[in-house]
Amino acid sequence: MASIMNTTNHAPASPAADYAQGAAYVGGRYVPIGEASIPITDWGFLRSDATYDVVTVWDGAFFRLAEHLQRFRASCARFRLDPGLTDAQISGILARCVRLSGLRAAYVEMIVTRGQPPWGSRDPRQAVNRFYAFAVPYVWIANEAQRARGLDLRISGVQRIPSASVDARAKNYHWNDLTMGLLGALDAGADTVVLTDGAGHVVEGPGFNVFCVNAEGVIVTPAAGVLEGVTRRTVIEMAQALGLPLQARALPAAELRGAREAFLSSSGGGVLPVTRVDGVPLGDGRVGPITQRLVQTYWDWHRDPRLSTAVDDVLQASP
């Protein structure tokens, strides 16, 4: 590890540092994750004024890196943020974080914050945006036991922040609604939560999109008021490839409660089975056959070279 240099013209990583728990890129330097910190006056911290994206690494390769970079750019544009780096530079930094950590399976986050306007100014246009990144061990939204038996999902009374206020399509840290909903669900003995839109439709949960296989056997996922998850997109593509009917449209809470099957989609674990909604079993209460097929296909697709990019290849291509 001694000869590792970063991919931009910033300072090299410290060779003696311990990166086993993860590596971060902060202020133009690579540091062990435990040492990564941001200025307290950064509006990313003070105002949740930031956007981000998360791409995973599985078996030494990024999964759908191009799609994550594309969404990151779109999020930046929606929030008038600029990473100040090309896609190749961002990819190189992410790959270097993964390489430093030595991880073969990683959760890799890229972030742009507003930064801080000059003292005395409250004009966000005068702030110099900041780019941060880190790689840590792969994050599962559901643990192994939960994935085997399926999750108990609570439909929360907490309303998701309307997209007219904070555009849900731009990945953001406005999570108080998700966190309060999750706390309520955990207190009630459930595993996780999905929020509603105030009109009786479910939207999304803390870090995932939601699907159900309704009473007619159609896969349904909310169309609006949600992050356009890259895993959600993968599910839609898998359904097409497998010839399974799927509709993206408003999903009433009652339809989810009456579904045969349900599952979540997230970079934090792919397709995650749900077997109970509000404590009541769906169907026979076991992980459904369509869900099982999609879980299997999701991991199979990781071997498709059109969807995966080896971390080594990114490093070699880096400037």
Judged by the rule CB under 6 A, the positions of this chain that interact with ligand PLP are 54, 204, 207-209, 227, 229-232, 265-267
Nearer to ligand PLP, 38 or 166 (CB): 166
CA angle 49, 50, 53 (to 5 degrees): 160
Nearer to ligand PLP, 231 or 291 (CB): 231
Nearer to ligand PLP, 54 or 76 (CB): 54
**Least Cβ distance, residue 75 to ligand PLP (angstroms):** 11
Name the amino acid, one letter, at 31: V
**Least Cβ distance, residue 183 to ligand PLP (angstroms):** 16
Nearer to ligand PLP, 130 or 232 (CB): 232
Nearer to ligand PLP, 207 or 288 (CB): 207
The encoded tokens of residue 298 equal 């999701």
**Least Cβ distance, residue 6 to ligand PLP (angstroms):** 26
Nearer to ligand PLP, 32 or 269 (CB): 269
**Least Cβ distance, residue 208 to ligand PLP (angstroms):** 5
**Least Cβ distance, residue 254 to ligand PLP (angstroms):** 22
Nearer to ligand PLP, 29 or 169 (CB): 169
**Least Cβ distance, residue 217 to ligand PLP (angstroms):** 24
**Least Cβ distance, residue 206 to ligand PLP (angstroms):** 7
